[in-house]
Amino acid sequence: GAGVSQSPSNKVTEKGKDVELRCDPISGHTALYWYRQSLGQGLEFLIYFQGNSAPDKSGLPSDRFSAERTGGSVSTLTIQRTQQEDSAVYLCASSGTFNTGELFFGEGSRLTVL
Amino acid sequence: QKEVEQNSGPLSVPEGAIASLNCTYSDRGSQSFFWYRQYSGKSPELIMSIYSNGDKEDGRFTAQLNKASQYVSLLIRDSQPSDSATYLCAVEGTGGFKTIFGAGTRLFVKA
């Protein structure tokens, strides 16, 4: 597709359940980011993939959060044993090999944990 | 100290005025700087990038960078109500190049 695609756009889950959020970056983009944005807040960095390098996981808030990127393209963010404080919009962004800071964002996945 | 700091605002300016948005960053080795605009309920979109000291102009937008002072700013000339949004400053760090965002400044342009 032409842009970054995220699914689901909305997810409501019960506390303690696991959720998976998917991101399909722009074709050819080597860098992929996950950010979290709580209501009225800024973007919190979660994880960064760049090509075949080891991902930068320094922003993951706990070991309940994990992410993988298969084949250098699609990425999945998994949250295990969800908590109410996990409720937020999860944004995925990708960028090309050059100008790696020029990010293109998906529409986000809004997660609500009841 | 936060890595990227912005005044959260809100900043309110009348239509036609100049809006000035400011940002400071802590990583002295950073080389790439960006301004994103985020409308309420939408995702951020890139509006300006700047890599060298000085000014960079694009239409009504001017980005200014001063690496010695670790300071980035965005000027919006002839502000329009449609410019009302949150403006996010972003900095690409060294040693890994992950991009870190400030908390954003909310701008209101009054008609």
Q: pLDDT value at position A71?
A: 81
Residue A27, class by beta-carbon neighbours within 10 Å (0-12 exposed, 13-18 middle, 19+ buried)? exposed
What is the separation of C-alpha B53 from the centre of its chain, rounded to a whole number of angstroms? 15
Q: Which residue has tokens 């950010």?
A: A35
Best mutation target among B43, B52, B87, B91 (most A Cβ atoms within 10 Å) is B43
Half-sphere exposure of A47 (CA within 13 A, CB side): 20
Any idea of the CA torsion for B53, B43, A89, A3, to the nearest 10 degrees?
-110
Q: Find, in chain A, the residue whose alpha carbon is nearest to that of B99.
A: A101
Q: Find, in chain B, the residue whose alpha carbon is nearest to that of A92.
A: B43
Contacts (Cβ under 8 Å, ≥6 apart) of B23: B4, B5, B6, B71, B72, B73, B74, B89, B102
Best mutation target among A10, A39, A43 (most B Cβ atoms within 10 Å) is A43
What's the CA gap between A27 and A62, in Å, rounded?
30
Tens of pLDDT, residues B9-45: 899 999 999 999 999 999 888 889 999 999 999 999 9
Average pLDDT over residues A73-94: 96
Q: Find, in chain A, the residue whose alpha carbon is nearest to that of B38.
A: A42
Q: pLDDT value at position A1?
A: 54
Query: Three-state SS string across B65-109, please?
Result: EECCCCEEEEEECCCCHHHCEEEEEEEECCCCCCEEECCCEEEEE
Name the band, by pLDDT with cuts 50, 70 and 90, for residue B1. Answer: low
- Contact A25/B at CB under 8 A: no
Tens of pLDDT, residues A90-100: 999 999 877 77
Q: pLDDT value at position A16?
A: 97
Q: pLDDT value at position B62?
A: 97
> Which residues of chain A does B85 touch, with a Cβ-Cβ cutoff of 8 Å?
none
Taking CB atoms and an 8 Å limit, are A101 and B88 in contact across chains?
no
pLDDT mean across residues, chain B: 93
> Which residues of chain A does B96 touch, with a Cβ-Cβ cutoff of 8 Å?
48, 56
Q: Which of B34, B91, B102 is nearest residue A42 as measured by Cβ atoms?
A: B102
For CA atoms B51, B54, B56, B60, the dihedral sign is positive
Residue B95 has pLDDT above 70, yes or no: no
Residue A17 has pLDDT above 70, yes or no: yes
Tens of pLDDT, residues B48-69: 999 999 999 999 999 999 999 9
Taking CB atoms and an 8 Å limit, are A45 and B99 in contact across chains?
yes
A5-7 vs A19-24, strand pairing mode: antiparallel
Tens of pLDDT, residues A44-78: 999 999 888 889 999 999 999 999 998 878 999 99
Residue B33 and residue B72 in contact, taking contact as beta carbons nearer than 8 Å: yes
